Structure 1
């Protein structure tokens, strides 16, 4: 809570005629340990009792600061531009606070980490991404409802018996005297899962048996199982013609898998290489599923699969449809960015 908001509460209670002790009691009851100190409360009660109206601090007297002069700002800016990894202590002879104020308050700069990408895209790769995105965008915009009805997308992902939370996800607020929380680096048992889904929901899920390798032969076998699932769950979809989307993983592009696609009569949509940002399973479904599972411990495969299928079943149609709709938004952004990766 901002300090001016505390002062507003104190002012209100003083106008009600309450004493400093009563004001402190009320604030402590409501805000607990985050309440202002007793001395601060008494000082502001006295100020408001004397008729003070402003909630802001009084302006400080003394010489104006010269540390943020145009010359110092220009000097710091040049140093940062010459070495973008420079630390605040390495810049100039100014105090740490002054340098911090110049960089953040005057130059409006912040230090960020580089973003990991699947691959540094070449010009040819970017051209491929723009060309394919433009073609799919044109097809989608022609008859959006037809695209939503006919599309089926799939991908493999790993799910874990235990996937520990990241440092950022496990951060908690604590007092200086509070004990630090701990978490163990438990062994993660994995399970490979293939999900086939469309704009209405999940069509088919396959869990790779332990000791089995995901290869072209195994993946091709899934097409027959998936075709039967589509017949049962999506009447009329096969008759209209399936638009199949998958990435360019070797198991997907193997000769036996491509033969299975043709035998099933599916139309395979193009997908640019090294482009998980343009695959709905990668940018929409899998990240949200894994976030739900992260930090939980599953004793065996049955518990894990129950959690996976329970979460997938809890998502409504809008969740799956938005995954396909966001795809169209990403094609647009990819074209606008000249083929660079789309972040969001």
Structure 2
């Protein structure tokens, strides 16, 4: 508790209150009550359940250190990289060959070809400097003695004036140039919270997202509300439904305004390749509207974790084009400017309006965006500052969710499936390593999530029952609860179904699959980032269709099934082969890829 934050301490206190209510009510079996009472005395366990239930999935350690990200921007145009370009140019290499050499040298992020071409041109023109050219900037006409004296006189009369008001009173051409003199003469005022110390960083962000626009969308209750006299019955309203006809709009914007829009009509889908092609257009649009100098300063792209955004082809194109990606915590629409600022206001405009065609919808949305001033877009980007600071520095916890998960776990362990929880953990660890049916990879994905691998080729159904496999999985998840990185970032399951046949299929009954859901999904505070079944036989696809209606919406989005004809193709769209062993089509040797020490470590 000494290292717990104030919110964690409040969450633990609330959990203890809920536990006390449960114990007082005398609900549940004796074993369940005894276990919950023991957990109530263990601060570490209570913190574990809280960490798995942060509000809206905001992960403290997964949130990016923006100063580090800004240093990546600096490295993009750093003197070290420019020195390497200059060296390769002296050897007579072309732009593309220079870029290949930088890639082989491990330069990350890798400059795009246009940036390297511009540097080479400077060196060929006889400019040996590795530093940025300094622009003269705005003339400092407001720092002469006359204006300084006016500023001091105004401030002495009213020390609570805003900088803008001071500039108006002294008729200055620039408010910013008066700031130093004003601050020296006035009382210090509490400064606004900084975006991790880098306010200028907000001007370098480009954000984008997709949304559906319907031909007709029902008005919200707030929009359809009416003023009525006291005692007057509410008016009757006809039942209306949102139309099925719709189009998808993708929009990218920054503090100044819209950079690029794209529309997808019926039958079109947003794939990784389609998104990669749009990123190329986005770079061209940014340079055209904001200028090459702004691009050279570094541009950060903030988008969510939609499958098309996280696909390998999109990730590769993002790096090739030259954008620097900002990490977006999963399930955090309150950190996506499009979700909390742009789209809600756009939907307020389109709701209740009837459109005759897709083109009519497109024309209306485009006109609405065009009529918005730069201050509208700036407000959305600037709102990130306070949201990031609040959620990064002081995340909220759902003590009620944490308590429900704890109670569910106790019921599963002691009432529903007590025979599945291992008593002898050392024997279980030895079995797992000897049989080789389950392992933890040493590598983690780009979000820091650990990867559990289930090897169907070594699963002999005559020797290893479904319940024993479940016990092995429980052993893994029990130990992962004490891994801070796992609790912060989450976990991924990969199940290789190669070698599995009808004997295995007979084990995957609806009852057994629901058992897995109850144990791994509903009774654990773990964040499951993905469940990937690969090399699945065709008949097993019907089993998935049978159980998928029982999944939550989140699990449906993260549950991926890839048939044998695709082999590892679908898996590699989610995870780089560099993270995976050769048995999964990766580049790492199988013996070196697995973390067997994880099984033996004491928890």
With structure 2 as the length reference, what TM-score do the two structures score?
Answer: 0.34
Distance 1:164 1:210 in 2: 20
Aligned-residue offset at 1:180: 2.5
Q: Which residue of 2 aligns with 1:308?
A: 365
Cα pair distance change 1:340/1:189, threshold 3 Å: farther
Cα pair distance change 1:247/1:240, threshold 3 Å: same
Q: Which residue of 2 aligns with 1:144?
A: 199
Cα pair distance change 1:221/1:227, threshold 3 Å: same
Q: Which residue of 2 aligns with 1:293?
A: 350
Aligned-residue offset at 1:198: 0.5
Q: Which residue of 1 aligns with 2:271?
A: 215
Aligned-residue offset at 1:208: 1.1
Cα pair distance change 1:334/1:204, threshold 3 Å: same
Distance 1:173 1:128 in 2: 39
Residues 229-262 of structure 1 deviation map (CA, whole Å, 9 limit, x = unaligned): 1121111222111111111111100000001101
Secondary structure of the residue aligned to 2:270 is coil
Distance 1:155 1:148 in 2: 18
Q: Does 1:199 align with 2:129?
A: no
Secondary structure of the residue aligned to 1:214 is coil
Cα pair distance change 1:306/1:241, threshold 3 Å: same
Q: Which residue of 2 aligns with 1:156?
A: 210
Equivalences for residues 150-299 of structure 1 within 5 A? 150-174=204-228, 176=232, 180-182=236-238, 184-185=240-241, 187-235=243-291, 236-299=293-356
Distance 2:299 2:217 in 1: 35
Aligned-residue offset at 1:339: 4.8
Alignment RMSD:
2.9
Distance 2:295 2:319 in 1: 13
Residue pair 1:217, 1:256 contacting (<8 A) in 2 also: yes
Larger mean Cα displacement after TM superposition, 304-313 or 259-268: 304-313
Residue pair 2:217, 2:353 contacting (<8 A) in 1 also: yes
Residue pair 2:67, 2:198 contacting (<8 A) in 1 also: no
Residues 89-138 of structure 1 deviation map (CA, whole Å, 9 limit, x = unaligned): xxxxxxxxxxxxxxxxxxxxxxxxxxxxxxx9825898963235472489
Cα pair distance change 1:179/1:257, threshold 3 Å: closer
Residue pair 1:334, 1:340 contacting (<8 A) in 2 also: no
Cα pair distance change 1:231/1:182, threshold 3 Å: same
Aligned-residue offset at 1:188: 3.4
Count of residue pairs brought into register by the alignment:
223
Aligned-residue offset at 1:276: 0.9
With structure 1 as the length reference, what TM-score do the two structures score?
Answer: 0.58
Distance 2:57 2:222 in 1: 36
Q: Does 1:130 align with 2:187?
A: no
Cα pair distance change 1:178/1:327, threshold 3 Å: closer
Residue pair 1:137, 1:332 contacting (<8 A) in 2 also: no
Aligned-residue offset at 1:332: 1.9
Cα pair distance change 1:248/1:186, threshold 3 Å: closer
Distance 1:126 1:294 in 2: 27
Distance 1:137 1:240 in 2: 15
